[in-house]
Structure 1
Amino acid sequence: MKNLVSFFLAVVLGLLQLGARAQGVMTFEKDLHDFGNVAEGTMATHEFKFKNTGNQPIIIANVQASCGCTTPDWTKTPVLPGKSGIIKAMYSSAGRPGIFNKTVTVTSNAATPSAVLTIKGNVLNKDEVKATLTPAQLAQSPRLVLDRTTHDFGKMEAGQQPVAKFTVKNTGKQDLVLGTLTSSCNCVGYRATPQAIKPGQSSTVELIYAQRQLGKMADAVTIASNDLNGDTKLTLKATVVRDLNAASMVKESGVAVPFK
């Protein structure tokens, strides 16, 4: 009887151990990436690759960056045993010269439920980048050219969000990468192509104007990029009124009455 109890106890312990080992294991190729020198205005992007070396699917619940300057992305579908996935970290270098060291924390159902990945590097401003290049290399750099530098929306109602479309052309000899947008009013949104613009190619940039201050407005906008000639500046103009649909008044028999 004693031997029988010992046998069943061993079986139960064995099953518990098997259950404990039945998990996905997230094995990264590396957990730190050094970009080295990064030109200000570019989006420094690295994909951390991992393989599921366990025996159950891995589901990534969330990836959290240590700051708003770093945008994460990741494999959204379950990663089966033996298969691979990625964690992408994108650091916006615009307006952030100097050394950076940022982390992204990965939360999943893997055997180790939390993993920390690190990106670091040194952002060089455009003058510093130029100093590292030869005249021949400078001649090969990208160049951003806009179809115009001003857009006038005319009369618009406060609270509206009209869109101005600009054509961006790369007249340089290397890929043009657009960075972040800043405006004097903090009232301009930005929609641009996420891909690099090839030499000789063009793309469309959409600026969404959400100015609420009344009156004649002229707001400066700066688009960062890896164009070593400097950031691109343009101006959005508008006459902002409280209500475009206010009743018009016409004179009838010498008396002002609402037009219906």
Structure 2
Amino acid sequence: MKHIASLLIFCLLALGVRAQGVMKFEKDTHDFGKVPEGTMATYEFKFKNTGNQPIIIANVQASCGCTTPDWTKTPVLPGKSGIIKAMYSSAGRPGIFNKTVTVTSNASTPSAVLTIKGDVVTKSEMKTMMTPAQLAQSPRLVLDRNVHNFGKMESGQQAVAKFTVKNPGKQPLELGMITSQCNCIGYKAVPPTIQPGQSAVVEILYAQRQTGQMSDMATLTSNDLNGDVKITLKATVVRDLNAGSMVKESGAVVPFK
């Protein structure tokens, strides 16, 4: 009886050890090849849970700040699939890159390392490598306008301008970084990949702290090989928009009207 009981306990323990999720990736390395500078190189690593218990991803850590990870946040049940998304910002980073993301989970292998790599080249370099037919297949970034005037706004206020982005090109359009000399312009909301012939709205924040008649330019990067797009944001920036505020006009102090 003792022998049978010991054997039963051993079998139960063995089954408990085997009762784990197994994270099986389709591949653990992705090579983007040539990446136009300014674009966000994005790839989704797909995995399947081939084990017999749910997999919960605790964390995904990138090897540098230039790589942003995202992942399936809900438990991945046995037989189901999940993703680890790695996004590399190529703006201002020409040259070869090789970055990793480390996945920590309760799977049978608690830590997995995924790799993304590629070669960031300028758009002018990309254009010289491509035939006219290939260039014709490029995505295109077209805005409904290139200038937005906020009118009167308060210093430090975060005003939002909505621009419509259209992609009349032949390939999906992806927006990259937005840059400005004033460091007062940024994204509030960026649309996902814009398919050929489709449009989407991008929301841009403007937070100018200087006062007076302001006009600031920003550059929107994308995977449009024809070049980046520039926008100009204008405003009359005052210290206080309250009805009782006093401002200087022509050397005299007068209230807002």
Match of 1:168 among 165, 169, 180: 165
Shift of residue 130, structure 1, vs aligned partner: 0.7
Q: How does 1:196-215 map to 2 (within 5 A)?
A: 196-199=194-197, 201-215=198-212
- Which residue matches 1:231? 228
Match of 2:181 among 169, 180, 184: 184
- Which residue matches 2:249? none
The alignment's TM-score, normalised by the length of structure 1, stands at: 0.86
Tell me the amino acid that sits aligned with residue 123 of structure 2. K
RMSD of equivalent CA atoms: 2.4
Match of 2:113 among 116, 125, 150: 116
- Which residue matches 1:221? 218
SS of residue matched to 1:9:
helix
Shift of residue 248, structure 1, vs aligned partner: 5.6
Shift of residue 240, structure 1, vs aligned partner: 1.7
Aligned-pair identity (%): 75
Counterparts of 1:257 and 1:238, CA distance in 2? 20
Counterparts of 1:203 and 1:78, CA distance in 2? 32
CA contact (8 A) 1:177 1:225 kept: yes
- Which residue matches 2:191? 193
Shift of residue 210, structure 1, vs aligned partner: 1.5
Counterparts of 1:31 and 1:149, CA distance in 2? 41
Are 1:46 and 2:48 matched, yes or no?
no
Q: How does 1:9-158 map to 2 (within 5 A)?
A: 9-158=6-155
Shift of residue 246, structure 1, vs aligned partner: 5.4
CA contact (8 A) 1:177 1:197 kept: no
Counterparts of 1:21 and 1:31, CA distance in 2? 24
Counterparts of 1:43 and 1:233, CA distance in 2? 18
Counterparts of 1:168 and 1:244, CA distance in 2? 31
SS of residue matched to 1:37:
strand
User: Could you list the runs of 5+ residues in structure 2 that have no partner in the other structure?
Assistant: 247-252
Shift of residue 82, structure 1, vs aligned partner: 2.2
SS of residue matched to 1:67:
coil
User: Could you list the runs of 5+ residues in structure 1 that have no partner in the other structure?
Assistant: 250-255
CA contact (8 A) 2:168 2:196 kept: no
SS of residue matched to 1:10:
helix
CA contact (8 A) 2:162 2:203 kept: yes
Over 3 Å counting, the alpha-carbon distance change for 1:80 and 1:248 in structure 2 is: closer
CA contact (8 A) 2:25 2:46 kept: yes
Shift of residue 176, structure 1, vs aligned partner: 2.5
Q: Which moved more, 1:154-163 or 1:68-77?
A: 68-77
- Which residue matches 1:240? 237
- Map Cα deviations across residues 145-200 of structure 1 (whole Å, 9 max, x no partner): 2232222212211232111122223343433322121122222221221122413x
